[in-house]
Amino acid sequence: MTGDLAEVRERLRRASSVCALTGSGISAESGLPTFRGVNGLWRTHRVEDLASPAGFARDPLLVWTWYNERRAAHLRAVPNAGHVALAALERRSTDFTLATQNVDSLHLRAGSVNVLELHGHLREARCDRCGARVPLDGELAPDAIAHVCGGRFRPDIVWFGEALPRDAFARAAEAAARADVVLVIGTSGLVEPAASLATRAPRGDAFVVEINPEETAISRHADVALRGTASDVLPRLLAGESETAVAHGGSMP
Ligand SMILES: NC(=O)c1ccc[n+]([C@@H]2O[C@H](COP(=O)([O-])OP(=O)(O)OC[C@H]3O[C@@H](n4cnc5c(N)ncnc54)[C@H](O)[C@@H]3O)[C@@H](O)[C@H]2O)c1
Ligand SMILES: [Zn+2]
């Protein structure tokens, strides 16, 4: 791990362009459950009831009850050292793009700026008929689901079977194709087309780094796999005094 860390650090230092792809694993240490993990959200809920247009059409109130709870959990959560390290990496990079599958807004709250939210976010609700948006500061009340146009407000996220926001995905694909270093953090790589940003989009000579405690569908596409958690590994990739302190005080072998 130490040799790999040093190589990734050096690659990042030399890179003119860096692209990071994150999944729910980076927010696990902020207390938000991943999708497929031991406490994963889909173990306790049926996807087709909660995260599909058909489920929403059947029972919008059930869907909103669930997303109101998730939004409240996002607001209670605090960005962890992994989110913070990515924001710091962006500040010292000339060309840095962060494409995330997460809808929890933690990257923005950690200070990342060039963030592409591939699966949307929960800061707004969007009318499923006319596209009008309303901010979601707290909960969306049951009597606020109906819009005057006859449509219904739904979470502004991408559900199973739906297309990704075209512009965000196109920009992410360009960033992955341009990058000298691609960091793939906390994603199982099972959800397409997001996973293709790590497997198909990078150039042949790009250096692909996976950061995940477990092997994934991405692993065989990676040049290096740093097997650890995002909040432990990412701060170690940043050179400088604070990084030295982490290296001495950290728990990684
Ligand atoms: N926080 C969120 O916004 C959130 C939460 C749950 C699911 N999702 C959704 O999940 C779907 C995609 O699946 P995914 O690949 O993001 O999640 P996933 O559940 O399929 O995979 C999570 C991955 O994170 C890894 N992981 C767990 N703890 C980690 C840690 N501390 N550090 C680094 N990696 C860790 C796991 O080994 C696993 O490979 C997306 O559609 C996304 O919108 C988002
Ligand atoms: Zn409307």
Domain shared by 210 and 169, yes or no: yes
Distances (CA, A) of 224 to 31, 46, 71, 134, 182: 27, 35, 34, 43, 11
Q: How many domains does the chain have?
A: 2
Domain shared by 107 and 57, yes or no: no
Q: Which domain holds residue 58?
A: 38-75+133-157
Domain shared by 225 and 170, yes or no: yes
Predicted confidence (pLDDT) at residue 72 exceeds the cutoff of 70: yes
* Rounded CA separation 7/206 (Å): 14
- pLDDT at site 47: 76
- pLDDT at site 250: 37
- pLDDT at site 247: 41
Distances (CA, A) of 13 to 17, 72, 78, 192, 197: 10, 38, 28, 30, 22
Residue matched to tokens 């306790």:
44
Residue 153 lies in a domain: yes
Residue 186 CA to ligand 1 center (angstroms) comes to 5
Residue 146 lies in a domain: yes
Buried residues in 63-73 as b, exposed as e (16+ CB within 10 A): bbebbbebbee
pTM score of the predicted model:
0.91
Residue 172 lies in a domain: yes
- pLDDT at site 39: 57
Q: How many CA atoms lie within 13 Å of 63's alpha carbon, on the beta-carbon side?
A: 24
Domain shared by 18 and 87, yes or no: yes
Dig out the tokens for 160 from the structure. Answer: 């199973």
Residue 32 CA to ligand 1 center (angstroms) comes to 9
Q: Which of 7-11, 20-24, 52-56 is the least confident region?
A: 52-56
Residue 185 lies in a domain: yes
Domain shared by 27 and 102, yes or no: yes
Contact (Cβ atoms closer than 8 angstroms) between residue 228 and residue 251: no
Catalytic residue, chosen from 83, 119, 121, 248, is: 119
- Structure confidence at residue 38 as a pLDDT band (50, 70, 90): low
- pLDDT at site 32: 94
Q: What is the DSSP string of 137-184?
A: SSPPPGGGSB-TTS-BEEEEEPPTTPPPPHHHHHHHHHHHHH-SEEEE
- pLDDT at site 161: 87
Residue 182 lies in a domain: yes
Domain shared by 170 and 68, yes or no: no
| Amino acid symbol at 163 | A
- pLDDT at site 43: 63
Domain shared by 210 and 90, yes or no: yes
* Rounded CA separation 184/225 (Å): 9
- Structure confidence at residue 198 as a pLDDT band (50, 70, 90): very high
**Catalytic site residue 119?**
yes
Domain shared by 68 and 16, yes or no: no
Domain shared by 152 and 225, yes or no: no
Whole-number CA gyration radius for the chain: 19
Mutation test residue for ligand 1: of 35, 71, 86, 107, the one with most atoms within 8 Å of CB: 35
Domain shared by 26 and 104, yes or no: yes
Q: What is the DSSP string of 195-248?
A: THHHHTSS-TTSEEEEE-SS--TTGGG-SEEE-S-HHHHHHHTS-SHHHHHHHH
- pLDDT at site 49: 81
| Amino acid symbol at 136 | L
Residue 252 lies in a domain: no
- Structure confidence at residue 36 as a pLDDT band (50, 70, 90): low
CA 170 centroid distance within chain: 16
Domain shared by 147 and 230, yes or no: no
What pLDDT digit, counting tens, does each position of 228-251 carry?
999 999 999 996 544 444 443 333
Residue 128 lies in a domain: no
Residue 89 lies in a domain: yes
* Rounded CA separation 90/76 (Å): 25
Domain shared by 137 and 178, yes or no: no
- pLDDT at site 240: 55
Segment 95-122 mean pLDDT: 98
Q: What is the mean pLDDT of the chain?
A: 90
Segment 76-90 mean pLDDT: 98
**Atom 44 of ligand 1, residue of closest alpha carbon:** 102
- pLDDT at site 252: 38
Segment 149-170 mean pLDDT: 95
- pLDDT at site 137: 80
Q: What is the CATH number of the domain that holds 148?
A: 3.30.1600.10
- pLDDT at site 37: 62
Contact (Cβ atoms closer than 8 angstroms) between residue 206 and residue 182: yes
* Ligand nearest, relative to CA of residue 145: 2
